[in-house]
Amino acid sequence: MRSGAQVERGERALGWLTLWDNFDEDGDVASVSAAGLTQTVALLHAPKRILVPYIPGQPVLITGERDGMGGGVTLAVELSTGSLPLPPLAVGQTVALPIQ
């Protein structure tokens, strides 16, 4: 089944998500998972914008993958509703962002 057809039928949606390291740029890495797809993002001070397919009503999951220098995986996320700083994540820790 083609994902484009799923978007046309309203089973999937596409949205932009912007992530960045909001503390020290120290090699932190996070992953973004939604609708069966996972994207790994190296976190820098410069915002990284990614296209995320998601299922309306289901959360987008952000997981700490690598803690560069200790102190947790630090990041902020920008959604269409605005910026959202997240608490430092431990490696393997996941937060769910409710997306409509």
Average pLDDT per consecutive 10 residues, the chain (100 residues; last block may be shorter) = 65 93 96 97 98 94 97 94 92 91
CB 77 within 8 A of CB 84: yes
pLDDT of residue 3: 58
CATH number (domain holding residue 10): 2.60.60
| Domain containing residue 71 | 3-97
Q: How many domains does the chain have?
A: 1
pLDDT of residue 1: 45
Output b/e per residue, 61-77; b: 16+ Cβ within 10 A.
ebbbbebbeeebbbbbb
